Structure 1
Amino acid sequence: MAEFADLRALIGPPELRPPSVLWESLEAELGLALPADYKMLAETYPSLKFDDFLGWFHPGIPADPATTAQGMKDVLEPLRVRLEGEEWIDFIDENGGRAKRSPFPVYPEPRGVLQWGMTDNGDRCLWLTSGAPDEWTIVIERSRWWHFQGGLIDFLVGVLTQQVQCPLFPTDFPESMDVEQSLD
């Protein structure tokens, strides 16, 4: 299991001061608590883009918790609309096994997926909000689904060190350890 220090060792110290996040207000607007590793990442770094491909959204941009919560919901609407017309979707498990199965529900449905990032290829980077927040696992979606049985920091450290291969990402990701930090 990766630790936050492992991620920091890979990407270096913060170059910009991250925006503050009103966690209690944001979680009240969302109607759920968020994982501790996500909060630690947000309290340490601004928005991040890994190897000019994988983007992580900072919850303090914009600063208003109601706007952030609504944005987290709105970004899922196209996925929700698309899934309403599909009964079965190609699903790839973390061991490369494939099956046809129903997609995960979309937040705010119970145990629904909630987006935390996106790639330049249009892959949605999501949490499966099942169980306690620190037990949430990672789901990557772009017409197909891939489920990683670990949390955000485990996933980031795994893909950045290429110990975890997401079959929806390019096989050469990451080509470099360039990490862009921004306040937008």
Structure 2
Amino acid sequence: MHRLPELLVLCPPPTAVDRSHRATVAEGVELPSSHRQMLAVYGAGCFDEFLWIYGEGVEREALSIEENTRAARSILSRGLPESLAEHLSGLDITPDQLVQWGGTDNGDLLLWIPTGPVDEWPTLVLEAGRLRFSIVSLESPSMIFELLTKSLKIPIFPPDFPSTNPQFSPDPYR
């Protein structure tokens, strides 16, 4: 179920949104339509000063799907936990096909597993250090909504996330 309307109520977007990401299509990087819709109203940035979402063609490399995906693929090519490598192999997916659409302040990665229709790609949440992982079968706005309402808990995320009043910022640390 597409939860973007509920996310907008829970965590209103900024009044001024950098929509420059819409002008560029990353070569070899496809985005689910729900993520594009979320970027159209929020832009790239951070939920609750912890959970970052990336966009394509953004000016700041730290918020770029293209740059974060390149970096993640490079890191993941050095090795994965055996159980994750087996899972991806069973889907006929290699680490160099994963697309990083988000991350956390702790260095955890949120990566789409590009299997099946683009709008149904599951998300791999990979702990910094690549020790533990979770796979979530929700599109990105729904996943964020469920994380912010505590309907979804990811064991590797800190217990104080989310806060009681989550907010979105285009870049809280800039």
TM range (shorter): 0.7 to 0.9
Q: 1:163 to 1:171 in 2, by over 3 A?
A: same
Q: Which of 76, 84, 88 is equivalent to 1:80?
A: 76
Secondary structure of the residue that 1:76 maps to in structure 2? helix
CA drift of 1:128 comes to 1.1
Letter matched to residue 71 of structure 2 = V
Q: Larger Rg: 1 or 2?
A: 1
Q: 1:155 to 1:69 in 2, by over 3 A?
A: closer
What TM-score results when the alignment is normalised by the length of structure 2?
Answer: 0.79
CA drift of 1:6 comes to 0.8
Which has a greater percent of strand? 1
Whole-angstrom CA distance in 2 between matches of 1:12 and 1:72? 25
Q: Which of 118, 134, 139 is equivalent to 2:119?
A: 134
What TM-score results when the alignment is normalised by the length of structure 1?
Answer: 0.75
Q: Deviations over 1:66-88 (max 9, x none)?
A: xx5651442223432321xx561
Aligned to 1:160: 148
Aligned to 1:61: 58
Q: 1:63 to 1:169 in 2, by over 3 A?
A: closer
RMSD, aligned α-carbons: 2.6
**Following superposition of structure 1 onto structure 2, how do residues 45-124 of structure 1 map, counting pairs within 5 Å?**
45-62=42-59, 70-83=66-79, 86=80, 88-89=82-83, 102=86, 104=88, 105-108=94-97, 113-124=98-109
Aligned to 2:91: none
Whole-angstrom CA distance in 2 between matches of 1:40 and 1:174? 23
Q: Deviations over 1:21-72 (max 9, x none)?
A: 346x515x12x531011111111122221221111112231289xxx56514
Pairing 1:146–2:143 present: no
Secondary structure of the residue that 1:125 maps to in structure 2? strand
Q: Which runs of 5 or more structure 2 residues have no equivalent in the other structure?
A: 89-93
Q: Which of 151, 169, 173 is equivalent to 1:180?
A: 169
Kept in 1, the 8 Å contact 2:124–2:134? The answer is: yes
Kept in 2, the 8 Å contact 1:75–1:115? The answer is: no
Letter matched to residue 167 of structure 2 = D
**Following superposition of structure 1 onto structure 2, how do residues 37-48 of structure 1 map, counting pairs within 5 Å?**
37-48=34-45
Aligned structure 1 segments of 4 or more residues deviating by more than 3 angstroms:
none
